Structure 1
Amino acid sequence: MADDRPEVQPVPLETACAWTAEDVADERLWTEHLSPGEIEELERAIAVARAKSDDFLQIGRADFPLPTLGPRLKRIEAELIDGRGFVRIRGLPRQWWSNDQMCLAYWGIGAHLGRPWPQNAKGHLLGDVTDQGKQPGDPTARGNELGQIPLDFHCDGSDLVGLLCLQTGASGGLSAVCNSVALHNRLVRERPDLAAELYRPQPYDYRGEQPPGGRDWYPMPVFTAYGGRLFVRLIRGYILASQRHADAPRLTERAIEALAWMQAEAESGRYSVIMDFQPGDMQFINNYHVLHGRTGYEDDRASGRVRHLKRLWLETEALSERPEQFRNRMGSHWAQRASISRLDAAT
């Protein structure tokens, strides 16, 4: 992609946040179990929130008091931003709680980790990851709408990304996370020319959700260094898809090679971990330090075994400064329709 600015001279960043698969092989390092007392605290918080409003959009941190779990969540947030970058929180009693209780507990926990961020042109602040009938070849399809197929490692569009498992499918659907800090630093050391290329803006396909009258793609670097921190936005499929638009800048040979390198190393298994989700599990990741994906899966609608996750995009208070392109644009055309998705995946 054409760019007249001087080439960036990349350097390794945030080495304390880099890890390999061997470093995180023990799932006890990244699995937090909710205690019976914390579950009771969540039940009380749900009652407080319901007394205020049935509308999740009216429920903030102050309306979901967690005097014990709240400080623990802040410690988890610190680990997400300045440490490993991902966590699985286990223990919400899915077998006893309704969908509404599960979603409200998740929304409230999210409020203690950050401010919600719109996820699509529908304005969903609480979204769904399940088979929504979209096909892989659909140029408007987003990953959260596609069922059955595996998803490549990628980033979403916020500081933190959260997933809550309401239901697993009949088989498969494991979650995968990969350390993008380690990938960045290795690329800088071994192929600084390719790393520098990914510091230049690349075109991303809007998937049909651009502002009214706006162009079909937007420019954004894969790597951004700011205040000594690394910010990553990598959605290889969207970058490649941008080339269907005649006015989108053409990808350079170096960009194509760099994207292929990132894809191959992310899938190598050297910097990733695969985890299962049980109903009631929550996963939160630092979107700038950890790529995520999933394995393929099968649903069985006849038995109700339909994979269904709820999703949050969150703006963390732990990052006091960030590049302009990574700000939560609550005034955007997506945010103007702020809403809660209440999709029933089993139907």
Structure 2
Amino acid sequence: MVAAQEAAGLVLAKVILHWPNHVKHVIGTSEYSNREMGDFQVVGPVLAPSLSSNVGLSVPGHAEARSDPAQDSLVDLPSGYPSQICHPFAWTKADFVGEASYVYRLSAADQAELRRAKDDFKAQELDGNLVNQDNFPLPTLGPKLRTLGDDIYNGKGFHVVRGLDPCTYSVEDLAIIRLGVQTYIADQCGRQDHRGNMLADNSSEIKLGHHRHSTSSITFHNEEAGDVISWLTRGTSKTGGRCIVAPVYTIYNILAAHRPDVIRTLTKSDWPIALPRFQCRPLMFYHESKLIMNFSRTPLLGSATHPRPGHLPQLNDRQCEALNLVEAIARALQMEIKTRSGDMHFINNFTILHRREGFVDGASPDEKRHLVRMRLRSSTMGWSIPDSLHQEWEDAFAEKGPKTWHLEPMPGDAFPLRKYTN
């Protein structure tokens, strides 16, 4: 991918990251800068995963070594970690010319096939959570969705399925179609919390005080568990609220080239994570030749909603710097996707960081942001999970344990969100 870009003479933008006080993006002459293509808007700079000499990227050295930045290159990467990773996961915005690269638009024939499958499933009088490829047959659309699933697990790491109109379906029928689509992408559904809630609905009571129900922007993060995170957009806000994604592999390549000491910090087992249970573990893993990142700021730093207990260890300066540098690079690389009502988003929770911009709901019901999130895993393509993350995946996907399906938003006490930050 990188070789093809360079061979095509791609003009790369310049990025200067002034650290640690603020981040300033200096946009170069890239033809991709500040261009809008439908619902696909390229923002920030364009970076090459290889970080060749053609890219003007200045990433300051560690506080203790800034007087001699050359010392940073003397720090080795952790044992077994590659100097660079050449993989489709290591994408840049320049790889996606138009939304067709990552949005699958359901055709009229696709939607007719979905309606037939939904009607056939309901005729079997099965519970909606029992949807699978056998009882929800999609002979034409199914192979296309499997291809998307493979690309999510082994390619770019994200896709949007677009074209459903939530207003034309009952809540139950929309949920059945959503479950039918995603069973071809990742067939196992995971719990959101210890009560077994399978759906996380952002329109539950605002008094919950959780950022999921706020209108503020959220920093880049992963979910606590789930190979793939999916969300169905039942409604969009008046302004803002776009989905914003950034590639973990490209962030890694930048750090490996310029700040290997930060990768050493991220891979140490001394990060004191407070929620949903206290543990010390790495934030980054290279496990069975796959790079995995799993973190969120709130369990590490606390927030107004989730205050950090005073008796727990605080982050040291190196850890704070690592978090901030990951956020800065992710924002430099970020790609924004304007969400439409009916969109089904799927992102690889190992290789894609995501965040949400702030938004404003309107007065009318059709101007209110309404998302329903699920955690997924493929029984055939699922990745091996590092030991430090095994408990979270076991809690989510184990056969034993409660599974509760609330198709409509529930009162606040139905969701123990103070223990689950994402």
> TM-score scaled by structure 2?
0.70
Which residue of structure 2 lines up, in the alignment, with residue 132 of structure 1? 205
| Other-structure match for 1:65 | 137
Which string of whole-angstrom CA distances, capped at 9 and with x for unpartnered residues, describes residues 240-296 of structure 1? 12982345333222111100101111122xx22111111111111111111111111
Report how far residue 326 of structure 1 moved.
4.3
> Following TM superposition, by how much is the alpha carbon of 1:302 offset from its aligned partner in structure 2, in angstroms?
4.7
- State the distance in 2 between where 1:170 and 1:331 align: 33
Tell me, in whole angstroms, the C-alpha distance in 2 between the residues paired with 1:282 and 1:133.
24
The 8 Å contact of residues 189 and 397 in structure 2, kept in 1 or not, is answered as: no
Quote the RMSD (CA, aligned, Å): 2.6
SS at 2:172 equivalent: helix
Match of 1:77 among 142, 149, 152: 149
Query: Larger relative CO (CA 8 A, sep 6+): 1 or 2?
Result: 1
C-alpha deviations, 1:116-173, integer Å up to 9, x for none?
01112332223213363147xx5xx3x43x2211121111121001111111122211
Q: Distance in 2 between matches of 1:38 and 1:332?
A: 30
Q: Determine if contact 2:203/2:409 at 8 Å carries over to the other structure.
A: no
Equivalent residue number for residue 243 of structure 2: 175
2:290 counterpart of 1:226? no
Shift of 1:99: 2.1
Amino acid at match of 1:244: R
Do the aligned residues in 2 keep the contact of 1:94 with 1:102 (CA within 8 Å)?
Answer: yes
Give 1:4's aligned residue. none
Q: 1:322 aligns with which of 385, 403, 406?
A: 385
**Cα distance change on mapping 1:28 and 1:107 into 2, 3 Å:** same
On the 8 A contact 1:168/1:305 being kept in 2, the answer is: yes
1:20 Cα deviation (Å)? 1.5
Q: In structure 1, what is the equivalent of residue 352 of structure 2?
A: 290
Identify the residue that residue 95 of structure 2 maps to in structure 1: 23
Tell me if 1:306 matches 2:368. Answer: yes
8 Å contact from structure 1 (residues 222, 234) kept in 2: yes
More strand by share: 1
Deviations 1:83-129 (A, max 9, x none): 11111111113342222222111111122222101112332223213
Match of 1:41 in 2: 113
Task: Give the partner amino acid of 2:146.
Answer: K
Over 3 Å counting, the alpha-carbon distance change for 1:81 and 1:44 in structure 2 is same
Structure 2: runs of 5+ lacking an equivalent = 1-76, 411-422
Distance 1:162 1:331 in 2: 14
Q: Which amino acid aligns with 1:276?
A: K
Alignment partner of 2:266 out of 194, 198, 204: 198
Q: Which moved more, 1:279-288 or 1:320-329?
A: 320-329
1:148 corresponds, among 212, 215, 227, to 215
Amino acid at match of 1:154: H
- What is the TM-score of this pair, normalised by structure 1? 0.85
The whole-number CA distance in structure 1 between the counterparts of 2:143 and 2:107 is 14
* CA distance in structure 2 between the partners assigned to 1:24 and 1:76 by the alignment: 15
1:338 aligns with 2:408: no
In 2, Cα distance between the equivalents of 1:282 and 1:35? 15
CA distance in 2, matches of 1:29, 1:35: 16
Q: Deviations over 1:13-44 (max 9, x none)?
A: 35332011222352221111112121111112
1:102 corresponds in structure 2 to: 174
Q: Hey, what does 1:92 align to over in structure 2?
A: 164
Tell me if the contact between 1:56 and 1:340 (Cα under 8 Å) persists in the aligned partners.
no
Moved more, 54-63 or 255-264: 54-63
Matched, 1:111 2:151: no
Contact 2:191 2:198 (8 Å CA) reproduced: yes
Identity level (%): 25
Relative distance call for 1:31 and 1:249 in structure 2 (3 A) is same
2:231 corresponds to: 163
